[in-house]
Amino acid sequence: MRDAVIVDAVRTPVGRRRGGLAGVHPADLSAHVLRSLAERTGLDPALVDDVVWGCVSQVGEQTACIARYSVLAAGWPEEVPGVTVDRQCGSSQQAVHQAAAGVVSGQYDIAVAGGVESMTRVPMGSSWGGGAFGEPYGPLARARYGGFEFNQGVGAEMIAAEYGLGRTEVDDFALDSHAKAARAIDEGRFLGQLAPVPVTGEDGTERLFTTDEGVRRGSTLEQLAALKTPFKADGVISAGNASQISDGSAALLVTTSEIAARHGWTPIARVHTATVVGTDPITMLKGPIPATAKVLKRSGLSLGDIGAFEVNEAFASVALAWLKETGADPALLNPNGGAIALGHPLGGSGARLMTTLVHHMRDNGIRYGLQTMCEGGGMANATVLELL
């Protein structure tokens, strides 16, 4: 039976909104990681059966199947196709799932999965069109939930209330995310996964964008406590304990063990088990909890078998609720920081998390890693990776 393995994974440093990557078109940003992946592995792009690419705001610079134009921007052969996936924040994790499924089924021999989002150039919510083309969701879905206006921030507040999470607890979690990310940068843990991006400054000079720029050092609880809670007057969710608006891209090379050996590649990990779930679209962000339960059941593994967890820090309350519900060891959660510190370039985040996870597993000899992330509309992907 065919398997699906990850040969290598690479990502750009994550840029802040209007930061170091603001001047790079998202197709060109994607092209950069595609070229970097090929260079690192010695991959002949002509052998790629498909590029499966996540992107959320598919409008403007990110429309017209950005996967295809990323392939062309990379200079890869015209014969290499691309498909763009939207499962909201989990789009590029879903892209890995689809690439792995294609490889296992024999539809693909070699696939590249990943994603991109430039939230500077294509702001979140742009695809709504300001109501010019009607409103999303539709009358039947709205009526089913009493006309509730689906909102992730509101959902994050509801989760915090359900799990009894106070302001100090969520702010503490945020500070810890920044501290872990800062340590990872200082200790060079990300160097093996980064593809620095050439960028042109306002003065016309070119430089390399080399490191994640969202990490805040020296923040205090007092500073975070002073931030407003926009989703609820007496709430706990603020800009300080939510994911950052970011730009970035990541890519992973997926094939079978047999084909990898034929090309002289030594894979990092096997895609052991992949699942997706749906959940309440009002709270919306609790999906990682049932997704974790489902992927563990299908994999035949227990929570104690997992040596590292990546749970996307869309909001601190999401990850904290997941910890409380699963009973996982907090020390194993997001060991190099999460989206609160590193940023959350929507369609690129699933691939960014998986890139960070597989490199962390290899660097530390961790046999099993688990990744899960909440998604708009009340969904979540979960993936178990096995070190090879």
The residue written with tokens 């695809």 in the block is 127
CB 293 within 8 A of CB 315: no
Catalytic residue IDs: 89, 344, 374
- Sequence-distant (6+) residues with CB within 8 A of 344 are 89, 243, 244, 245, 246, 312, 313, 314
CB 46 within 8 A of CB 17: no
Q: How many other CB atoms sit within 10 Å of the CB of residue 172?
A: 16
Cα–Cα distance, 69 to 31 (Å, whole number): 9
Taking the alpha carbons of 225, 228, 233, 237 in that order, is the dihedral positive or negative? negative
Quote the radius of gyration of the chain (alpha carbons, Å): 20
Cα–Cα distance, 295 to 292 (Å, whole number): 5
- The identity of residue 3, as a single letter, is D
